[in-house]
Structure 1
Amino acid sequence: MTLRTLAAACGAALCAQFAISPVASAADAPSRWVSTWGTALQSIPQQANLPPLYRAPVVAGRTVRQIVYPTLAGNSVRIHLSNEYGKTPLVIEALRIARSTGGAAQSSGAVTVTFGGKQRATVPPGGELDSDAVSLDIVAGAPYAISSYMGADQQFVAWHRVSSQVNYVSLPGNHADDSMAGAFHQRFTQVAWVTGLSVEAPSSAAIAAIGDSITDGMRSSLNENHRWPDAFARRLAREGDRSTAVVNLGISGNRLLNDSPCYGDALVKRFGRDVLERPGVKTAILLIGINDINFSSTPARAGLDCDSPHTSVTAADLIAGYQRVIAEAHRRGVRVFGATLTPASLPPQRESIRLAVNQWIRTSRELDGMIDFDAALRDPAQPDRLRRGFDSGDQIHPSDAGYAAMAEAIPLDAVVNSTRK
């Protein structure tokens, strides 16, 4: 349990009610555990008449089965739960993990996950909790089903909205042990509560990819793991690297400098929570800023305005934000590779901001390294646009081929050596 979780629990005079996992205590050596999969949460807008895109499934008294793909192998795993945006305790009556066998099906003999020796997990509002260590062979790149039987009053209040992965909700009841998919009638494409897996791997380390929808994999193929961090993890494996994990912490719509009612906290605010508090992270790849540039010019909407506030930014504003992130990372011994902003068919004024930011990323001595995603994706004849084969069709988000090209553009030796220092 982190200090933030403990403070949240004790501040509500509820310490005695919350399970404290012995493996997550302050005395536990943090180098034992390395993140193998993760995601970043965003709050769900809380207002009447939400568009269907923001309406969460009913999960109270039902079983939620979520499919995750670890990027680092191990034989001891623990699961991280978050109630970051909750106003009431998060209650999970039972939690299981098993190898996924396709769709909502899983292998028989799902492993029971405990918290301080108890099956029931209760996480205070704003808190988070690590499970006890679970003995289970984790194979990098293989799918695992995490099934949580939710409390009778549990609701969705936060999620990772664009998971590019189909997950499942059951009929009422505890179906966490079900190997067949029959009870799981409802599908959804978000992730909730489970925000991290870590394996016991003291000689390994993790790279955190953090940014907006281009890191999140927006418009990549559903259920295919074609986001650029996925492709980068596969590249590492092809090169024989079995000791470096890649954890995707992008949020679609996210901005560097401003919070959003739909797209999560500003990256300068969430960086500590989403990157620096994850076990084993040694390097961050930072790709953020195109939404800061664009949302100043999107029209205000009545009702739910996800792009609010429509704040204008300059290149100097964005650079100052990067400098904040870099300083915070360096204080914690984490290195930061800056990635150039990719082409987005911007009008001249906004394009000039993108180019100025990219020039700073390419030449700044404040970063620990640079990844030129812009050069990898741009059309040589029209450098303000994506190359045709790399464009998913909206002139902003790469296609599967474009995401693969991004992974190949990463200077492998530089990034891995940085992670090993």
Structure 2
Amino acid sequence: MPNWQWAVVSTCDNFASLPFKLPQLSQLVKLTVGISGSLIRLSLTNRYGDHNLVFEQVVVADNPQMSNGQVVTAAQRSAIVVPAGEVLITDPIAFKVTAGQPLYVRMVASRPQKYADFASTYDPRMVNGTYSRMARLLPPLPTGCGARKGWFCLEGVQVFSSDQPLTVNVTGDSLAEMGLVANSLVKQLRAASDRPVVLINTAISGSRLLNDAPDDEPLFATFGQSLLHRLARPRWTAEITVALVGSNDLVLPLWSQAAFLPTVQQLVNGVDRLTKLADQHGSHLLMTTIPPFDLHLPAKQAAVSQHLAEVRFCINQQLVKRPFVVNVEPLVATGGRLTPQADFGDQLHYSPAGANLVATALFHWIDDKMSISHNRGTLKGADNEEGRTL
């Protein structure tokens, strides 16, 4: 029997400490659904705002030009009010979608408002967004993976569907939020599996495994709750949870006086607690080792960099003993540094090619444990254009 299911989620993070104050807003968001159906509805958030938000128009279309778009309503009204501190599910509209199809949502506000719920990505293949400060403009969606794309208050699409998808929650920090690993993984899963695949991205840039965001700088507050706290009370459930996390537990103490460097055992114990939380919610946990990073510290702080490298090495030695941990360092690094091919350019994040190498390793783990491939031993959908050699 069909029922309302999440078709795609890209969560909005808490930017109340650094809200966007805009005189007007016209934003365009692309969300690629993972299941098929003929009825859809949107999830609009004002979870972190301190006043109601009013959107005079919300329109959905199957093209970025928004031709033949359909007006979305809430309580049968085209002007949609999202109350402060709440999440609003819109009225259903008749709109046929197919798994893997991108939807385009335009949201218009003609009055000055402050937006605290912010979502972003770097990889525009499956999720993308942009906004203008002028309500009358339809901004073009950006391309390429080199810069951040952002939007407000729209975090997902529900579809009335009888599909039984494989639901994957990619979570953690910016390595996941950027979308490069998530999109490459989902692409490979969709090519290999008989089931449709739904992506739920709940990652938060700057997030840590063990501790919530420090409060000694407004930017740090946007890093949100720790992953342990978020998975203790998840807003979405998934069959598979992919956690890319741990780097910020080591990095953030260098920048924040309120953050403290955890011991090796504390971080490893946190990973084991994460495993138990995933199991409690019926999800298979999959993690990677912590990849190398370079904070570009001055030479006089070389001892600090060396200490962090040693801590990371000791943590990874413990993590690789866990059957749910994929060791990514041999794939993306040499000599304790990301390779030029795998480096985004900052020695902190994966390039598209590096992300695809990580995603392929994650795919093989999932396929080995869940036997999802049409043809075992054959990998379909690999992103050759991102530098992978078959």
Asked if these proteins are the same fold (TM beyond 0.5), I'd say yes
2:328 to 366, 369, 373: 373
Verify: 1:396 aligned to 2:348, yes or no.
Answer: yes
With over 3 angstroms needed to count, the CA separation of the structure-2 counterparts of 1:99 and 1:282, relative to structure 1, is: same
Measured in 1, the distance between the counterparts of 2:8 and 2:83 equals 23
Verify: 1:95 aligned to 2:58, yes or no.
Answer: yes
Q: Could you tell me which amino acid in structure 1 is paired with residue 26 of structure 2?
A: T
3-state SS of the aligned residue for 1:36? Answer: strand
With over 3 angstroms needed to count, the CA separation of the structure-2 counterparts of 1:309 and 1:99, relative to structure 1, is: farther
Verify: 1:154 aligned to 2:113, yes or no.
Answer: yes
Question: In the TM superposition, what whole-angstrom CA distance separates every residue of 1:89-109 from its partner, at most 9, and x where no partner exists?
Answer: 2333332211233xxx22x22
**Structure 2 residue aligned with 1:7:** none
**Structure 1 residue aligned with 2:312:** 354
**Structure 2 residue aligned with 1:289:** 246
Question: In the TM superposition, what whole-angstrom CA distance separates every residue of 1:96-143 from its partner, at most 9, and x where no partner exists?
Answer: 211233xxx22x221222334443433333221222333223344443
Superposed, 1:20-419 pairs within 5 Å as 32-44=3-15, 46=17, 56=20, 58=22, 60=24, 62-101=25-64, 105-106=65-66, 108-150=67-109, 152-164=111-123, 165-169=128-132, 171-172=134-135, 183-184=138-139, 189-202=149-162, 203-217=164-178, 227-256=180-209, 257-259=211-213, 260-272=220-232, 276-278=234-236, 281-298=238-255, 307=256, 309-345=258-294, 347-364=305-322, 369-379=324-334, 382=335, 384-410=336-362, 411-414=365-368, 416=370
Structure 1 position 408, deviation (Å): 0.8
**Structure 1 residue aligned with 2:300:** none
TM-score normalised by length of structure 1? 0.72
Measured in 1, the distance between the counterparts of 2:181 and 2:141 equals 28
Q: Could you tell me which amino acid in structure 1 is paired with residue 157 of structure 2?
A: L
Measured in 2, the distance between the counterparts of 1:158 and 1:204 equals 28
Percent identity of equivalent pairs: 21
Q: Confirm or deny: 8 A CA contact 1:169 1:185 kept in the other structure.
A: no
Gaps in structure 2 of 5+ consecutive residues:
143-147, 214-219, 296-304, 373-390
Q: Could you tell me which amino acid in structure 1 is paired with residue 354 of structure 2?
A: G
Question: In the TM superposition, what whole-angstrom CA distance separates every residue of 1:355-389 from its partner, at most 9, and x where no partner exists?
Answer: 23323332236xxx23333332222xx1x222231
Q: Could you tell me which amino acid in structure 2 is paired with residue 288 of structure 1?
A: V
Q: Which moved more, 1:255-264 or 1:281-290?
A: 255-264
With over 3 angstroms needed to count, the CA separation of the structure-2 counterparts of 1:186 and 1:390, relative to structure 1, is: closer
Q: Which runs of 4+ in 1 moved over 6 A?
A: 185-188
Q: Confirm or deny: 8 A CA contact 1:170 1:185 kept in the other structure.
A: no
Structure 1 position 293, deviation (Å): 0.3
Q: Could you tell me which amino acid in structure 1 is paired with residue 340 of structure 2?
A: R
Structure 1 position 209, deviation (Å): 0.4
Q: Could you tell me which amino acid in structure 1 is paired with residue 326 of structure 2?
A: I
Q: Which moved more, 1:252-261 or 1:238-247?
A: 238-247
Q: Could you tell me which amino acid in structure 1 is paired with residue 342 of structure 2?
A: F
Q: Confirm or deny: 8 A CA contact 2:181 2:359 kept in the other structure.
A: yes
How many equivalent pairs are there?
Answer: 344
Structure 1 position 284, deviation (Å): 0.7
Measured in 1, the distance between the counterparts of 2:329 and 2:35 equals 28
Structure 1 position 350, deviation (Å): 1.4
With over 3 angstroms needed to count, the CA separation of the structure-2 counterparts of 1:377 and 1:89, relative to structure 1, is: same
Measured in 2, the distance between the counterparts of 1:359 and 1:36 equals 37
With over 3 angstroms needed to count, the CA separation of the structure-2 counterparts of 1:198 and 1:339, relative to structure 1, is: farther
Gaps in structure 1 of 5+ consecutive residues:
1-28, 47-53, 176-181, 218-224, 299-306
**Structure 2 residue aligned with 1:303:** none
3-state SS of the aligned residue for 2:41? Answer: strand
Q: Which moved more, 1:396-405 or 1:250-259?
A: 250-259
Q: Confirm or deny: 8 A CA contact 2:39 2:96 kept in the other structure.
A: yes
Q: Confirm or deny: 8 A CA contact 1:67 1:100 kept in the other structure.
A: no
Measured in 1, the distance between the counterparts of 2:138 and 2:360 equals 41
